[in-house]
Amino acid sequence: MALPPNVHDAEPIPAAAREAIDALMQSGDLFRYTAPQDAPVTLLEQEYAELLGSKYALAVSSCSAALFLSLKALGLPRDARVLIPAFTFAAVPSSVVHADCVPVLCEVGENYRIDMDDFEAKLDGVQAVIISHMRGHTSDMDAIMALCDARGIPVVEDAAHSLGTTWNGKNIGTIGKVGCFSFQSYKMVNAGEGGILITDDADLIARAVIMSGAYEHNWKKHKGPHGENTLDLEQAFAKWQNQLPLYNLRMSNLSAAVIRPQLPELARRVRDGLANHDYVAGKLNASPFFDVPAPLAPERRAPDSIQFNLIGLSEAQTRDFAAAAEAKGVKVQVFGLSTDNARAFWNWQFLRDVPELPQTRAMLMKACDVRLPVRLSRVELDVIAGILLAAVEETTGKAAA
Ligand SMILES: Cc1ncc(COP(=O)(O)O)c(C=O)c1O
């Protein structure tokens, strides 16, 4: 059998980034607000807003910064309760704590999506919601928006893993009031670090821009759709001048130069990622020991990894399976089994109270995560699927013997 592929390297950055970086090296113009216009960060914001179909975008240092700024821009009071799914990365409750708010955790089902009964039950008394589409699995946005709109609760979409995913044909990140994305490596678009938030709300973007570090009149370099000034944006900036703290979470021109040439690659990456995922899912679902949950009907996914549940394996067998796969060259992360895993809610001990969420815990104890970078070939996918199938056969066969 062919050797297992390297699943850690990302795609090479398009060559066009080199020219842009060379120009920045020559000019030394790395700060987004030095140039009077058309700085790489500004152009990225315009291109990203247009690509996703939103009015405004603000590029920042990370998705965590985008989430934090979104909560701040919503003007939530200290100790406001913010509902988040209990299956997400530790950066998400951390951004809530950073914004002086209190995370409220809701249950997530076996299909990695928010349990809507628990969501509804916990909504009273909540002042904002963050929907983490964890690993790009979209929760029921129709039901979420109906419940939140009826109560006037703003929804922030954590789309860190969902760039390119659509819901009823609409881009994830444009359904709630704000959408936040990550450019950290291991994301669909890779700049090592970086993030961006998008919204149609002029007041919210004006607040976020100022707090991101557009000190004095630097906000004048932020425009509306198609790089044009809009009256509502100008009025919002004038209203918030000198009224808000500056957290300095800006993006550097260097990051924007790495990101911009990747945007035209997105459609291909999404197409390849989904085809790769569904190919491996088909092979895994043929085994009685694996279940790759199906997408929801309105959802078109953009995966660069695969998640599946182990069926009928004990905790010891689950550990044996992961060890057998790793020995053969495929790293399987079982979210709930590795020590100090940042996606297991019981490790978020920085929260005042870590609640017990039995349904989410049960899911995390058997949910497996394997990277599937979009650049993998069919032969490489066959090797990965073959190793996973061999590892589960070995584990369950040993038990039967
Ligand atoms: C679901 C989720 N949300 C938010 C973040 C934060 O992204 P960043 O590393 O850009 O701050 C991550 C990080 O990987 C994540 O996995």
CB 121 within 8 A of CB 147: no
Q: Is 333's C-beta closer than 6 angstroms to any atom of ligand 1?
A: no
Would you state the pLDDT for residue 400?
64
Per-residue model confidence as pLDDT tens digits over 306-348? 999 999 999 999 999 999 999 999 999 999 999 999 999 999 9
What lies within 8 Å, CB to CB, of 399 at 6+ separation is 317
Q: Is the CB of 196 under 6 A from ligand 1?
A: no
Whether 130 and 92 share a structural domain: yes
112 ligand 1 Cβ < 6 A: no
Hey, what are 219's tokens?
A: 């906000």
Q: Are residues 311 and 361 in the same domain?
A: yes
pLDDT at residue 399 in the model: 60
182 sits in which H/E element: strand 178-182
Q: Is 337 within a domain?
A: yes
Q: Per the domain annotation, does 389 fall within a domain?
A: yes
Domain boundary among 221, 240, 263: 263
**Structure tokens, 325:** 């796969």
Are 178 and 327 in the same domain? Answer: no
189 C-alpha vs ligand 1 centroid, how far in Å? Answer: 13
Query: Which atom of ligand 1 lies at the shortest distance from residue 184's CA?
Result: 10
Q: Are residues 84 and 183 in the same domain?
A: yes
Encode pLDDT of 248-273 as tens digits: 999 999 999 999 999 999 999 999 99
CA-CA distances (angstroms) from residue 131 to 144, 318, 389? 9, 29, 33
Q: Is 63 in the pocket of ligand 1 (CB under 6 A)?
A: yes
Angle at 102 between CA 128 and CA 242, to 5 degrees: 70
- Tell me if 166 sits within 8 A of 192, measured CB to CB: no
The rounded mean pLDDT for the chain is: 97
Which pLDDT band holds residue 3 (cuts at 50, 70, 90)?
Answer: confident
Q: Which position has the token pair 């699943």?
A: 7
Nearest CA-CA partner of 397 in 320, 319, 310: 320
Name the amino acid, one letter, at 335: F
- pLDDT tens figures, 95-116: 999 999 999 999 999 999 999 9
- In a shared domain, residues 228 and 371: no
Q: Are 269 and 131 members of one domain? A: no
Tell me: do 346 and 292 sit in the same domain.
Answer: yes
- Smallest CA-to-CA distance from 249 within 213, 223, 215 is with 213
Together in a domain, 179 and 316:
no
- Using the predicted structure, report yes or no on whether residue 231 has a pLDDT greater than 80: yes
For the chain, the C-alpha Rg in angstroms (whole number) is 22
Instruction: Please tell me whether residues 234 and 96 are part of one structural domain.
Output: yes
Amino acid identity at 230: T
What is the Cα–Cα distance from 300 to 267, expressed in whole angstroms? 12
Is residue 8 one of the residues assigned to a domain? no
Look at residue 2 in the predicted model and tell me its pLDDT: 76
Q: Atom 7, ligand 1: which residue's CA is nearest?
A: 63
Here the CATH number for the domain that contains residue 138 is: 3.40.640.10
* Domain assignment of residue 269, yes or no: yes
Summarised one tens digit per residue, pLDDT across range 146-169 is 999 999 999 999 999 999 999 999
> What is the DSSP code (8-state) at residue 226?
G
The answer, yes or no, to whether residue 38 has pLDDT greater than 90, is yes
pTM of the model: 0.97
One domain, residues 176 and 137: yes
Q: 41 in a domain, yes or no?
A: yes
Q: What is the DSSP string of 6-51?
A: P-S--PPPPTHHHHHHHHHHHHT--STTTSSS--HHHHHHHHHHHH
195 lines ligand 1 (CB under 6 A): yes
The more confident residue out of 352 and 202 is: 202
In degrees rounded to 5, what are phi and psi of residue 334?
-95, 110
pLDDT in the model for residue 1: 58
Give the whole-number percent of the chain exceeding pLDDT 70.
Answer: 99
Indicate which CATH number applies to the domain containing 374: 3.90.1150.10
- Tell me the CA–centroid distance for residue 73 and ligand 1, in Å: 19
The three-state secondary structure class of 112 is: coil
Residue nearest to atom 15 of ligand 1 (CA): 89
Which amino acid is residue 128, in one-letter code?
A
350-362 confidence digits (pLDDT tens): 998 899 999 999 9
Give the domain-ending residue among 217, 232, 263: 263
Residues 137 and 152 reside in one and the same domain: yes
Instruction: Tell me which DSSP letter residue 295 carries.
Output: P
First to last CA, the chain: 26
- The CA-CA-CA angle for residues 71, 74, 75, to 5°, reads 100
Is 30 part of a structural domain of the chain? Answer: yes
Question: Which of 67, 69, 89, 343 is the pocket-test mutation for ligand 1 (most atoms within 8 Å of CB)?
Answer: 89
Whether 62 is in the pocket of ligand 1, judged by its Cβ within 6 Å, is yes
Rounded Cα distance between 306 and 374, Å, is: 11
The reported pLDDT for the residue numbered 349 is 97
* Domain of 91, in residue numbers: 16-263
Q: What is the pLDDT of residues 170-197, one digit of tens each?
A: 999 999 999 999 999 989 999 999 999 9
Structural domains counted in the chain: 2
Domain boundary among 263, 294, 326: 263
Do 245 and 381 lie in one domain? The reply is no
